[in-house]
Amino acid sequence: MNSLIIKELEPLRLPLLKKLYKSHYPSTKIKAGEKIIVAERDSQIVGVVRYRKLDKWELLTGMLVIPEVRNQGIASQLLHFSQNDILQDNFFCFAYKHLEQLYKAHGFKTIPVEELPSTLAKLYLRYTQTGKPLIVMQYHS
């Protein structure tokens, strides 16, 4: 098995990423201006995490590791790369409850919804109204 490469997505490869999301996470819509970090193996994208700016806040969104390579530490490597190069205290994520420990291991802490900035609180409410069992987390360096 070849090694994993973690890097920022080249804009030319955006159509490949959209196809990947369509196959594995169809509700996802990539927004203009997002910072996109990918995990590649054999020149194939096998994992991704995106960061979206909302006012003065940042939201970790769209974390995806393709099913065939899950449980190999790829999500952890994406988050580790992000800790070194991207994450700051103004970063939040809406995580599925079963992934709470993964995010905690990389500097996120669970916070009450009431502590979310209003811009993010509205988005969280919209996401959870569709039935997604999400918790609110904030990065602490």
* Average pLDDT value for residue range 9-35: 91
Ranking 19-28, 34-43, 87-96, 98-107 by mean pLDDT, the lowest is 19-28
Per-residue pLDDT at 10: 93
Residue 140 has pLDDT above 90, yes or no: yes
Other C-beta atoms within 10 Å of 67: how many? Answer: 9
What are 54-108's pLDDT values in tens digits?
A: 999 999 999 999 999 999 999 999 999 999 989 999 999 999 999 999 999 999 9
Residue 51 has pLDDT above 90, yes or no: yes
Listing from the earlier edge strand, what are the strands of the sheet with 134-139?
Answer: 5-8, 35-41, 44-54, 57-65, 91-96, 134-139, 108-110
Length of the chain: 141
Residue 1 has pLDDT above 70, yes or no: no
* Average pLDDT value for residue range 110-114: 97
- The burial of 80, by beta-carbon neighbours within 10 Å (0-12 exposed, 13-18 middle, 19 or more buried), is given as middle
3-state secondary structure of 54: strand
Q: Taking all residues of the chain, what is their mean pLDDT, rounded to a whole number?
A: 94
Domains of the chain: 5-139 (3.40.630.30)
Residue 60 and residue 53 in contact, taking contact as beta carbons nearer than 8 Å: no
Per-residue pLDDT at 41: 96
Residues 50 and 52: their CA atoms lie apart, in Å, by 7
Per-residue pLDDT at 130: 86
